[in-house]
Amino acid sequence: MSTITSISLTPEAARLAQRMKREGKNFSKFVRECLHLYYRESSENEHFGQTETWEGCEPFCIPTRSHFCRVCWPVGTPDISALADARKHVRVLGELRNSGEGTHPKWGGELDDDMLIPALWQDLGHGRKDIQLEPAVLQWLKDQADEHNRFLMPLANLDLTGNEKPVKAEKPRKGLLKRILYEMGK
Distance CA 97, CA 107 (A): 10
Mean pLDDT across 49-78:
81
Please, are residues 149 and 70 in contact by the beta-carbon 8 Å criterion?
Answer: no
User: What's the rounded Cα separation, in Å, for the pair 125 and 179?
Assistant: 91
Say yes or no to pLDDT of 113 above 90.
no
Segment 116-152, tens digit of pLDDT: 999 999 888 887 888 899 999 999 999 999 888 876 5
